[in-house]
Amino acid sequence: MFPLFETLAIEQGKIQNIEYHQARYEQSLRQFYGKSAVKIFNLFELIQVPSHLQNQLVRCRIDYNAETTQVQYFEYTRKIYRTFQPIVCDEMDYSLKYANRDLLNSLFAQRGNCDEIMIIKNGKVTDCSIGNLIFRQGNQWLTPDTPLLAGTQREKLLQEGKIKEATIYAKDIEKFDEIRLINAMNGL
């Protein structure tokens, strides 16, 4: 019923990066449904954080299709991701934030004892199962120029000049000092 979704962070009642989510939501609707009639909602107006979550870190999930949306709220605790298992998947396509995550889930199941996976496509680093990746080399943070999904946090950090795009090959992973996961819920 809902082929696409957005995940937004709400901290202390304030929606984070709403303009980036709104832009991706609108672009995704048009890309998925083509030029057919779609109803565009203002995501800001859809979000009504329940009173018991006002002072919490909240993960807001908005599932949507061409006509309607469904909004859910979950209390969220940030996790620390220290280890990443490289997984090769050359046929991966996640150019939109699809609700069907079967392939991502099957890749994630191959992580072994690691916290998360690092998806390698055509020899290049892309993303992990739940977000984009950034790599530190000295004082500079780099993000792969081959993401599966251009995340909203990634876009914000690129526009702010806090990270830069680079081609990152699987064979070069060991050259970096640190790897981090970024997504709507986890910034730099």
Cβ contacts of 109 within 8 Å, gap of 6 or more: none
pLDDT at position 39, please? 85
Q: How many Cβ atoms are within 10 Å of 70's Cβ, its own excluded?
A: 13
**What pTM, to 2 d.p., does this model score?**
0.92
Residue 57 has pLDDT above 80, yes or no: yes
Per-residue model confidence as pLDDT tens digits over 139-170:
999 999 999 999 999 999 999 999 999 999 99
Q: Identify any residues that bridge with 64 across adjacent strands, giving them in sequence order.
A: 4, 69
177 shares a domain with 107: yes
Q: Which of 35-44, 51-60, 73-82, 149-158 has the lowest mean pLDDT?
A: 35-44
99 shares a domain with 39: no
113 shares a domain with 68: no
Domain contains 57: yes
70 shares a domain with 88: no
Q: Report which of 104, 163, 97, 107 is spatially closest to residue 133, judged by C-alpha positions.
A: 163
pLDDT at position 12, please? 87
Domain contains 101: yes
- Domain range spanning residue 8? 4-75
Domain contains 188: no
CATH of the domain at 156: 3.20.10.10
Domain contains 141: yes
